[in-house]
Amino acid sequence: MEQEKVIQIKDLKVYYKNHRKSPFSKKRKKQVLKGISLDVYEGEILGIAGESGCGKSTLAKAIVGMNKDIEGEISVKYTDTQMVFQDPYSSLNPSKKIGWLLEEPLRVDKEKNWTPKERKDKVLEIMKAIGLPQELLERYPSQLSGGQRQRVSIGVALMRSPKVIIADEPVSALDVTIQAQILQLLRQLHQEYGITILFISHDLRVIYQICDHVAIMKEGTIREYGIPHDVYRNPQSEYTKELLSAAGIR
């Protein structure tokens, strides 16, 4: 049976305002994505790979509605898609304790009126799921390690039981040992909760470890798509070959 599509993107173009004041700069807008077409299937982990500036994060922000100046079609099956960002410290309010941060998505949930007990119970459930002890609920983000903060960021994204999570370079700010732990956590959550994950990374080795499919991006376009094993073993695009070679994979 064919998997259901949870995200469908057709001929997506995304523009940013050109803030350069030069009289020679005639264009008011800069095109960042140049006709992206991509499907994300229920229950998969899809990797988006490419060098910095290729449009990976722009694509993610367009999917969740953070980029408004777009052309083309984006169809998202679920409205509760959540994002996990690269830097867990800047994405967590430093003045709030971990327990408060985890509860916040439930406090602002307009679809369900969570009672204080329900919120507390959900927080404890998620703390267990992300592998953190309860005593950390009374600490501030600055009192946690980088790996712990990223687990909290993932926990915040999980609080309202989303069907889709977009992880934007979620391990690039962590050392190799902690990276492996966070990747293992994402695999575990993917299996236990059946979450579809759009995993963005410039690291082809990380993509290979965790993703079911990979889309290789360059300059706002997708240059190659497929199963990581097939793409890495027999790349069709010259750009993919260059990336693999630079990563020491070919």
What would the pLDDT profile of 47-67 be if each residue is shown by its tens digit?
A: 999 999 999 999 999 999 998
Residue-by-residue DSSP string for 7-55: EEEEEEEEEEE-----TT---SEEEEEEEEEEEEETT-EEEEE--TTSS
Sheet holding 5-17, edge to edge: 29-41, 5-17, 70-76
| pTM of the model as a whole | 0.91
* Burial category of 26 from C-beta neighbours within 10 Å (exposed 0-12, middle 13-18, buried 19 and up): exposed
Residue 207 and residue 229 in contact, taking contact as beta carbons nearer than 8 Å: no
Beta bridge partners of residue 8, listed in sequence order: 39, 75
Q: Give mean pLDDT, residues 69-73.
A: 95
Residue 226 DSSP symbol: E
Phi and psi (nearest 5°) for 15?
-120, 150
What is the pLDDT, as a whole number, of residue 21?
Answer: 56
Per-residue pLDDT tens over the stretch 156-215: 999 999 999 999 999 988 999 999 999 999 999 999 999 999 999 999 999 999 999 999
